[in-house]
């Protein structure tokens, strides 16, 4: 008897349905996915068409990793049409969670079409458009809502959408201005946010005068109750209109309400002393309602370029010239003295007002720092420079016990160094002498602390003036060069002497500042930081001087490495006392990284707990470590944080924008749009993606413990294996949009230590590049250096952003390699999926051919990056050779005929690649073997370079040659199957011989690096190596002992030595393990190719 079927039960009533759904909701909300799925299944057995149950099942499946099945269920419900608002909103939640913005839009469009007068559906549709950043449809939907509700809020929604589409549709601003005028006439501009948006619309539509009237008028006074805020907005708008006197009046009004407002003081001096430049370029004031992110903000080209000529840096761009400070009053101008007098009057008036209010303890220190600002500007107009030194000395005398003293004076220190290095050094001596001349208080307690604070501040100021070698941010005596192209430097023994004095001060001060929580930073930590700076500056000095010692070895490299080891020791001492001192931690991270101690650098960096949005601004500190020899778990963890940021931003930024609209905070809604754009095109997130896919490919290829014997047992292999093909598929998919992405660079370079400028090449070669990079004056004539604009918060106006071109080139190259290797493997591997993701053959070849072509008009930018990243440039030449060999394979596999000239070209490309790769590995092997000495291995970035040669270049070489081997054996999908005319690639004697020779050569080259790594580890024990490193540090520091005491503490020096040696062995162990597996696979390739 057949099984009977019962008709589906009628839908339950509302009360019964709620009773059945409540336990399901509870399971879904608490993450009990399996329990929820069981309850939903029971409900669907009785009511198989119940939409809410199917949608909840889709949500549950997506949370269990079965997103496709969940999407199928929810798409079925959407096609049917949601039965009620509960289903609609639950379906919207599913689409939001999986990032399906387009499906969400289409669903609400369908709902609005079914019920066009339903304001709730229209509101949800507007929110969907906002999440999709569809500004035109936002505007249209908002106006439909207004016609239904007559709520002026909806008009403001439409106006915000018009502001966001103004670049593409200039007429939108005129329409927005008209709508704002109508709202004003009706009395509907009734809150602060509406007023600010109105002012922005007027300003951007060319009605700046009316915007100023609006802010100054009764409406502005009523809706902007904070007088200081209103005065700032009025001053900013007046300045934009060129009304300097009106702007000055408003800025003075700001100071009456906020007497410590530094921006207001600086702006008043700008007006009183026109054409002078502030010591620290202040970020432009945000005008009423905000402003759009400039197209060139955070871009590879910056605000413009300065070109290198035989006479130094030059720029025809007025914006760049101003950023570099080349604005001054001509000698014949009669108002020079008047400008100085006006500035002096402003400074005196502001100080008098502060005194009248109770002085610095009451109103703050800005009014007293203004004397230094005035002196700096007066010096630009020809006043005696010594007055600036006097003003700085006076400020130190009054505020040296304030924690902020040295930081306050830094812009003036930088300005003096850049203008006159000799004067800067004289000033630095004056500060140190003044600190030494101060009598020590007889009693301890607070007076002793105040005394030591002044002394430490004096030494910090002297360091900013160049006493500890200077900073990469400021080129001494070169006022024409962009900021950020210098290399701090001290003479032999000079850094040791300065460091010894700083450490004496540190140890003397440490107990004085001891507090209830020993983990908290103290002023004494600054002294340890200065010691580290001096030692790192001496290390750079050794590198710039070069030369060999009496034994013929590169003594400069050894001394540079030893100086960095000493810097690590003093930093370890500082961090042990103040583990939460971020600047010390970042400095120690940098030093360990430069010594090739990736694991130690990772361990020091980890407690900073960098995550969430910090991954966008600080990932440049950790990616060179992760890709320079740290364990793969470091890369995966860092990139997981970056992926979390991307996923959170995809969800939270649109939600924040929607909530801002709901709450009437329109300016925040507009800010969220810019924030979305910066994160969407973030270089940091793109770099993390590339690092992750390449690490996955490496671990997949090298993680199986493959040996020659294993391969021989399984028989000859052709093409890459299935797991590697899967890794390449995932990599090609992830990198597909990155190769041509218009990237935003959000990295905060202000967190870089003064001795460690941003690297200009590949992350994996950042350390070798630092050891080989010359100073900026060695840039070739004609190359261009991109200069940051004032909106580039992570760099600073006038700073070089030449590194961005190098970073962009590195990502483009890595993506091109991924696509080329993926396509080569796909056409020659029997395990390749068809069709496979990523670029097709022609697109992959085109990506290779255009790799050296920079997008847009920024061709010259790459030249500066190449000059500042010489090791990356050498490695790129090897990459070019590999890509040429892969391109030859792609051309042969993608054509129907294998012509004689194609075979000759392919053979030559394979030979050239084998030779280039062998040379790279020989260089790596020589660096690791250098003098068979642990200190020498810390020099020149030898350890991370060896890791790159095997784990990066070696992986690419292996995949490329495996693909070639499969092609010449005819074992891939296309190998030997194409073409009936001419000679085929499969079995071609010349190609077979070339592939066999290249594979053997690559295996021998990697084996040489492996042998060097093994020899470095087995030649002596870890303890013996650490003892030798400690002995070298101790001897080096002992040569320049000072009467002030010992530079290094033995315990911390030994700890630093142990960490460096252990890190080297960890990385070299990875070189050995990866290298042995690659050699095994390459030997099999060579042996399996038909003879």
Do domains 15-222 and 481-608 share one topology? The answer is yes
308 bridge partner residues: 313
Return the structure tokens found at 720: 């890459």
Cα radius of gyration rounded to whole Å, the chain: 33
User: At which residue do the structure tokens 């997949």 appear?
Assistant: 700
More confident residue, 93 or 309: 93
The pLDDT-based confidence of 280 (bands split at 50, 70, 90) is confident
The pLDDT-based confidence of 514 (bands split at 50, 70, 90) is confident
Return the structure tokens found at 69: 């099945």
The pLDDT-based confidence of 1 (bands split at 50, 70, 90) is very low
CA 499, 504, 507, 508 torsion-angle sign? negative
DSSP string, 755-767: T-PPPSS-GGGHH
881 pLDDT more than 80: yes
Three-state SS at 787:
strand
List the 304-309 sheet strands across, edge first. Answer: 312-314, 304-309, 784-787
DSSP string, 791-834: T-TTT-TTBB-HHHHHHHHHHHHHHHHHHHHHHHHHHH-TT--S
CB proximity list for 1088: less than 8 A, separation 6 or greater: 716, 717, 718, 965, 969
- pLDDT by residue (tens digit) across 30-54? 889 999 999 999 899 888 889 999 9
**CATH 3.30.470 corresponds to the domain 481-608:** no
User: At which residue do the structure tokens 């099942």 appear?
Assistant: 57
395 pLDDT more than 80: yes
Distance in angstroms (rounded) separating the CA atoms of residues 608 and 591: 16
344 pLDDT more than 70: yes
Phi–psi pair at 679, nearest 5 degrees: -75, -35
Q: Give this prediction's pTM.
A: 0.91
DSSP string, 258-313: -TT-HHHHHHHHHHHSTT---SSPPPPPPPTT--PPPTTTT-TTBTEEEEEETTEE
Q: What is the pLDDT of residue 96?
A: 86
- Picking from 581, 591, 488, 607, the residue whose alpha carbon sits closest to that of residue 532 is 591
> What one-character DSSP code corresponds to residue 948?
I
Q: What is the pLDDT of residue 811?
A: 92
> What one-character DSSP code corresponds to residue 314?
E
- pLDDT by residue (tens digit) across 287-323? 999 998 887 888 888 888 888 877 777 766 666 667 7
Q: Which of 224-238, 377-391, 974-988 shows the highest mean pLDDT?
A: 224-238
Q: What is the pLDDT of residue 407?
A: 95
- pLDDT by residue (tens digit) across 493-509? 999 999 999 999 999 89
More confident residue, 331 or 397: 397
Q: What is the pLDDT of residue 144?
A: 95
1053 pLDDT more than 90: yes
Distance in angstroms (rounded) separating the CA atoms of residues 297 and 745: 9
User: At which residue do the structure tokens 């799925």 appear?
Assistant: 37
CB-based contact 684:646 (threshold 8 Å)? no
Q: What is the pLDDT of residue 18?
A: 82
283 pLDDT more than 90: no
CATH number of 15-222: 1.25.40.1040
Q: What is the pLDDT of residue 836?
A: 56
Distance in angstroms (rounded) separating the CA atoms of residues 132 and 126: 10
Return the structure tokens found at 922: 């020989």
Distance in angstroms (rounded) separating the CA atoms of residues 179 and 156: 9
Least confident interval from 215-219, 304-308, 877-881, 960-964: 304-308
- pLDDT by residue (tens digit) across 122-140? 999 999 999 999 999 999 9
- pLDDT by residue (tens digit) across 806-840? 999 899 899 989 989 998 888 776 655 555 565 67
Three-state SS at 167:
coil
Q: What is the pLDDT of residue 384?
A: 73
More confident residue, 482 or 1083: 1083
Phi–psi pair at 800, nearest 5 degrees: -65, 135
1044 pLDDT more than 90: no
CB-based contact 909:885 (threshold 8 Å)? yes
Return the structure tokens found at 957: 């070489």
Phi–psi pair at 483, nearest 5 degrees: -65, 150
- Picking from 510, 526, 516, 512, the residue whose alpha carbon sits closest to that of residue 464 is 526
Q: What is the pLDDT of residue 784?
A: 84
CB-based contact 289:236 (threshold 8 Å)? no
Strands 784-787 and 312-314: unpaired
End-to-end CA distance of the chain: 70
Q: What is the pLDDT of residue 833?
A: 55
CB-based contact 409:395 (threshold 8 Å)? yes
CB-based contact 307:317 (threshold 8 Å)? no
- Write down the H helix ranges in 488-581: 494-510, 524-545, 555-577
- pLDDT by residue (tens digit) across 848-871? 777 655 544 445 677 888 888 999
Q: Which helix (H) or strand (E) holds 930?
A: none
> What one-character DSSP code corresponds to residue 190?
-
Cα 371 off chain centre by:
37
CB-based contact 831:817 (threshold 8 Å)? no
User: At which residue do the structure tokens 């950023």 appear?
Assistant: 323
CB proximity list for 302: less than 8 A, separation 6 or greater: 296, 786, 787, 788, 789, 792, 795, 801, 804
**pLDDT over 70 percentage in the chain:** 88
Q: Which of 77-91, 211-225, 738-752 shows the highest mean pLDDT?
A: 211-225
Q: Which helix (H) or strand (E) holds 786?
A: strand 784-787
- Write down the H helix ranges in 381-445: 386-399, 405-419, 421-437
**Mean pLDDT on 463-492:** 87
Distance in angstroms (rounded) separating the CA atoms of residues 766 and 778: 19
Number of neighbours of residue 307 by Cβ within 10 angstroms? 19
CB-based contact 966:718 (threshold 8 Å)? yes
User: At which residue do the structure tokens 């590198």 appear?
Assistant: 543
- Write down the H helix ranges in 663-797: 666-680, 683-702, 708-714, 722-735, 766-772
- pLDDT by residue (tens digit) across 64-79? 989 889 999 999 999 9
**pLDDT over 90 percentage in the chain:** 57
Number of neighbours of residue 831 by Cβ within 10 angstroms? 17
Distance in angstroms (rounded) separating the CA atoms of residues 42 and 974: 51
Length of the chain in terms of residues written: 1091
Q: Domain spans of the chain?
A: 15-222, 481-608, 915-1091
- Picking from 144, 152, 104, the residue whose alpha carbon sits closest to that of residue 128 is 104
- pLDDT by residue (tens digit) across 565-621? 999 999 999 999 999 999 999 999 999 999 999 999 999 999 999 888 888 999 999
Return the structure tokens found at 1001: 């050569």
CB-based contact 802:760 (threshold 8 Å)? yes
Mean pLDDT of the chain: 86
Q: What is the pLDDT of residue 295?
A: 79
548 pLDDT more than 70: no
Q: Distances in Å between the alpha carbon of 1003 and those of 87, 131, 885?
A: 61, 52, 17
Q: How many CA atoms lie within 13 A of 815 on its CB side?
A: 26
Distance in angstroms (rounded) separating the CA atoms of residues 733 and 735: 6
Helix 683-702 with 632-662: angle, nearest 10 deg:
150
Q: What is the pLDDT of residue 794?
A: 77
174 pLDDT more than 90: yes
Phi–psi pair at 787, nearest 5 degrees: -115, 135
> What one-character DSSP code corresponds to residue 952?
I
185 pLDDT more than 70: yes
Least confident interval from 91-95, 183-187, 712-716, 975-979: 975-979
- pLDDT by residue (tens digit) across 424-454? 999 999 999 999 999 888 777 788 899 999 9
> What one-character DSSP code corresponds to residue 949?
I
Distance in angstroms (rounded) separating the CA atoms of residues 472 and 474: 6
């Amino acid at each position: 008897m057949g099984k009977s079927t019962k008709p589906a039960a009628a839908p339950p009533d509302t009360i019964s349905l709620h009773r059945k759904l409540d336990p399901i909701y509870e399971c879904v909300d608490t993450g009990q996915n399996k329990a929820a799925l069981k309850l939903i299944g029971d409900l669907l057995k009785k009511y198989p068409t119940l939409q809410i149950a199917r949608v909840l099942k889709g949500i549950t499946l997506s949370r269990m990793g079965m997103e496709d099945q969940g999407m199928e269920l929810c798409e079925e419900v959407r096609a049917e049409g949601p039965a009620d608002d509960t289903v609609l909103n639950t379906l919207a939640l599913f689409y939001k969670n999986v990032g399906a913005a387009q499906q969400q839009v289409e669903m609400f469009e369908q709902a609005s079409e079914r019920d066009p007068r339903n304001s709730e559906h229209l509101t949800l549709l507007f929110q969907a458009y906002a999440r999709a950043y569809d500004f035109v449809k936002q505007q249209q939907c908002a106006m439909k809502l207004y016609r239904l509700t007559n709520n002026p809020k909806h008009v403001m929604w439409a106006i915000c959408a018009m502001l966001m589409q103004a670049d593409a549709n200039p007429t939108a601003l005129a329409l927005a201005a008209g709508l704002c005028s109508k709202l004003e006439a009706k009395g509907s501009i009734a809150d602060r946010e509406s007023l600010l948006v109105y002012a922005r619309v007027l300003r951007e539509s060319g009605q700046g005068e009316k915007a100023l009237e609006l802010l100054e008028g009764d409406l502005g006074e009523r809706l902007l109750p904070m007088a200081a805020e209103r005065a700032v907005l009025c001053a900013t708008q007046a300045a934009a209109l060129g009304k300097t006197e009106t702007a000055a009046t408003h800025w003075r009004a700001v100071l009456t309400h906020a007497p410590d407002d530094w921006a207001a003081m600086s702006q008043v001096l700008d007006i009183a002393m026109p054409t002078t430049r502030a010591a620290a370029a202040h970020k432009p004031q945000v005008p009423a309602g905000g402003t759009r992110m400039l197209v060139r903000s955070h871009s590879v080209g910056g605000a413009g370029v300065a070109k290198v000529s035989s006479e130094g840096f030059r720029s025809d761009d007025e914006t760049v010239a101003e950023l570099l400070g080349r604005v001054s009053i001509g000698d014949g101008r009669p108002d020079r003295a008047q400008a100085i007098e006006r500035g002096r009057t402003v400074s005196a008036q502001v100080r008098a007002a502060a005194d009248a209010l109770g002085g610095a303890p009451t109103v703050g220190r800005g009014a007293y720092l203004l004397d230094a600002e005035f002196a700096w500007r007066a010096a630009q107009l020809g006043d005696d420079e010594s007055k600036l030194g006097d003003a700085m000395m006076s400020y130190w005398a009054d505020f040296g016990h304030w924690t902020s003293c040295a930081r306050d004076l830094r812009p003036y220190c930088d300005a003096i160094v850049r203008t006159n290095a000799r004067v800067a050094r004289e000033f630095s001596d004056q500060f140190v002498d003044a600190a030494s001349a101060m009598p020590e208080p007889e009693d301890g307690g607070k007076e002793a602390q105040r005394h030591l604070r002044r002394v430490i501040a004096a030494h910090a100021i002297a360091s900013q003036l160049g006493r500890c070698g200077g900073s990469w941010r400021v080129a001494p005596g070169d006022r024409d060069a962009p900021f950020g192209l210098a290399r701090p430097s001290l003479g032999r023994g000079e850094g040791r002497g300065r460091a010894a004095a700083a450490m004496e001060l540190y140890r003397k001060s440490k107990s004085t500042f001891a507090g209830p929580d020993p983990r908290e930073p103290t002023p004494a930590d600054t002294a340890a930081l200065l010691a580290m700076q001096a030692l790192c500056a001496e290390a750079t000095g050794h590198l710039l001087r070069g030369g060999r010692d009496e034994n013929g070895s590169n003594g400069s490299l050894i001394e540079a490495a030893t100086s960095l080891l000493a810097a690590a020791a003093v930093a370890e001492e500082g961090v042990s006392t103040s583990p939460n001192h971020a600047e010390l931690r970042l400095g120690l991270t940098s030093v360990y990284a430069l010594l090739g101690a990736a694991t130690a650098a990772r361990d020091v960096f980890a407690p900073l707990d960098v995550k969430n949005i910090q991954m966008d601004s600080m990932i440049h500190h950790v990616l060179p470590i992760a890709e320079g020899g740290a364990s793969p778990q470091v890369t995966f963890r860092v990139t997981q944080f970056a992926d979390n940021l991307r996923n959170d931003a995809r969800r939270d930024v649109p939600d924040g924008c929607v909530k801002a609209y709901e709450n009437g905070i329109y300016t925040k809604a507009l800010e969220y749009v810019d924030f979305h754009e910066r994160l969407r095109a973030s270089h940091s997130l793109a770099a993390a993606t590339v690092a992750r896919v390449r690490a996955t490919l490496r671990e997949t290829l090298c993680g199986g413990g493959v040996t020659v014997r294993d391969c021989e047992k399984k028989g000859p292999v052709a093409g890459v294996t299935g797991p590697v093909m899967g890794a390449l598929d995932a990599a090609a998919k992830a990198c597909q949009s990155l190769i041509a992405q218009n990237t935003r660079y959000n990295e905060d370079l202000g967190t870089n230590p003064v001795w460690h400028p941003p690297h200009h090449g590949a992350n994996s070669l950042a350390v070798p590049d630092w050891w080989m990079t010359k100073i900026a004056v060695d840039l070739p004539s004609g190359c261009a250096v991109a200069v940051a604009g004032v909106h580039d918060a992570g760099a600073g106006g006038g700073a070089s952003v030449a590194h961005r071109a190098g970073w962009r080139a590195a990502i483009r190259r890595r993506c091109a390699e991924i696509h080329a290797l993926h396509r080569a493997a796909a056409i020659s591997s029997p395990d390749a999926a068809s069709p496979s993701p990523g670029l097709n053959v022609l697109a992959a070849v085109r990506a290779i051919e255009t790799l050296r072509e920079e997008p847009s008009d920024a061709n010259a930018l790459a030249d500066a990056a190449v000059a500042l990243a010489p090791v990356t440039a050498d490695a790129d030449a090897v990459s070019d050779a590999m890509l040429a060999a892969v391109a030859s394979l792609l051309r042969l596999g993608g054509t129907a005929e294998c012509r004689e000239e194609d075979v000759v070209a392919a053979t030559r490309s394979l030979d050239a690649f084998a030779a280039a790769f062998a040379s790279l590995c020989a260089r790596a092997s020589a660096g690791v073997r250098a003098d068979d000495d642990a200190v020498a291995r810390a020099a020149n970035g030898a350890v991370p370079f060896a890791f790159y040669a095997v784990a990066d270049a070696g992986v690419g070489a292996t995949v490329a040659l495996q693909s070639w081997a499969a092609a010449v054996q005819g074992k891939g999908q296309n190998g030997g199957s194409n073409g009936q005319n001419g000679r085929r690639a499969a079995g071609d004697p010349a190609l077979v011989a070339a592939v066999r020779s290249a594979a053997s050569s690559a295996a021998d080259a990697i084996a040489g690096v492996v042998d060097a790594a093994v020899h470095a580890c087995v030649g002596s024990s870890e303890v013996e190596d650490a003892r030798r490193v400690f002995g070298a540090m101790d001897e080096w520091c002992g040569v320049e002992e000072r009467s002030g005491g010992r530079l290094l503490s033995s315990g911390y020096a030994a700890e630093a030595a142990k960490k460096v040696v252990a890190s080297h062995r960890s990385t070299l162990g990875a070189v050995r393990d990866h290298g042995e597996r690659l050699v095994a696979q390459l030997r099999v390739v060579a042996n399996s190719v038909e003879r």
